[in-house]
């Protein structure tokens, strides 16, 4: 009998623990359909717990597409279109809240910044496609006056992360196939203490196009005011 590779066995054992931990009827409400309250597009990064970051412990609450750089678009025959992972729950599952979630220290934004400032694409081709789509956003950001170009690279990258979240939310707000009654929010997930001392805090940086921190602060209960800080203002 062949020996099971160690990590494969770890995956199987982990799934077994998962199965045993589930309460009875855990999937009862979602076995035949789904109606997630929110679609949250995150960066494809193993450090971002896409459902747990919101405190959900039941299936069917969050539709979770992800890609390199939490980009809301894709390209089709040279045209930039809204990613199907975002559109599906909005058009077919009754979802009326869309969230863009960037994160501190984003490798995709870092790569796009390096390309925008003269370095080569990181490769391979499948990665380069998504980095290339971010490069114009980074170039626009660097010319916007919102980025402290004299700061250290870590600071610049994190400011670019926030700028990218704003840019992605704006694209959604202007897209014809995203209904006007869909609320669109932008967050930056901070697990590095960039915005403050609350590791794992999702900082609300965009509410339906509003990006001024003081204005956003007025939209949320006082207890969440520390989650409305910005690196751009």
- Taking the CA atoms of residue 195, residue 197, residue 202 and residue 203 in that order, the dihedral angle to the nearest 10 degrees is -30
The model's pLDDT over 26-45, given as tens digits with 9 standing for 90+, comes to 999 999 999 999 999 999 99
Please tell me the predicted confidence (pLDDT) of residue 3.
79
pTM (predicted TM-score): 0.96
Residue 5 has pLDDT above 80, yes or no: yes
Residue 2 has pLDDT above 80, yes or no: no
Contacts of residues 168-172 at CB distance under 8 Å and 24 or more positions apart, as own/partner, are 168/41, 168/70, 168/71, 168/72, 168/73, 168/100, 169/72, 169/100, 169/206, 169/209, 170/209, 171/72, 171/73, 171/82, 172/72, 172/82, 172/86, 172/98, 172/100
Architecture of domain 31-228: 3-Layer(aba) Sandwich (3.40)
The model's pLDDT over 46-102, given as tens digits with 9 standing for 90+, comes to 999 999 999 998 999 999 999 999 999 999 999 999 999 999 999 999 999 999 999
Annotated binding residue 201: no
The model's pLDDT over 146-205, given as tens digits with 9 standing for 90+, comes to 999 999 999 999 999 999 999 999 999 999 999 999 999 999 999 999 999 899 999 999
The model's pLDDT over 141-153, given as tens digits with 9 standing for 90+, comes to 999 999 999 999 9
Question: Buried (b) or exposed (e) across 111-125, using 16+ Cβ within 10 A?
Answer: bbbbbbeeeebeeee
Residue count (the chain) = 233
The model's pLDDT over 205-229, given as tens digits with 9 standing for 90+, comes to 999 999 999 999 999 999 998 999 9
Nearest to 232 by CA among 165, 147, 170: 147
CB contact set of 100 (below 8 Å; sequence gap of 6+): 40, 41, 70, 72, 165, 168, 169, 172, 184, 185, 186, 187, 206
The model's pLDDT over 112-150, given as tens digits with 9 standing for 90+, comes to 999 999 999 999 999 999 999 999 999 999 999 999 999
Annotated binding residue 106: yes
Please tell me the predicted confidence (pLDDT) of residue 1.
59
Tokens read off for 66 = 């992800």
Omega within 30 of 0 (cis) for the link into 124: yes
């Amino acid at each position: 009998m062949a020996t099971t590779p160690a990590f494969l066995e770890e995956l199987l054992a982990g799934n077994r623990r998962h199965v045993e931990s589930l309460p009875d009827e855990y999937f009862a409400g979602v076995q035949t359909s789904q109606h997630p309250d929110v679609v949250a597009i995150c960066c494809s990064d193993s450090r971002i717990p896409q459902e747990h970051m919101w405190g959900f412990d039941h299936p069917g609450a969050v539709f979770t597409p992800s890609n390199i750089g939490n980009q809301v678009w894709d390209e089709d025959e040279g045209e930039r279109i809204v990613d199907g992972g975002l559109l599906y729950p909005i058009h077919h599952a009754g979802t009326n809240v869309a969230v863009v979630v960037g994160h501190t220290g984003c490798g995709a934004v870092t790569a796009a910044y390096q390309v925008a400032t003269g370095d080569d694409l990181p490769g391979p081709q499948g990665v380069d496609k998504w980095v290339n789509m971010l490069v114009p956003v980074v170039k626009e950001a660097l010319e916007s006056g919102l980025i402290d170009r004299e700061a250290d690279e870590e600071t610049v990258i994190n400011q670019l992360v926030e700028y990218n979240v704003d840019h992605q939310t704006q694209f959604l707000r202007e897209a014809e196939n995203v209904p006007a009654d869909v609320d669109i929010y932008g967050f930056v997930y901070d697990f590095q203490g960039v915005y403050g001392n609350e590791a794992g805090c999702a900082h609300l940086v965009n509410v339906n196009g509003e990006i001024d921190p003081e204005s956003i602060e007025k939209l949320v209960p006082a207890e969440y005011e520390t989650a409305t800080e910005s690196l751009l203002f």
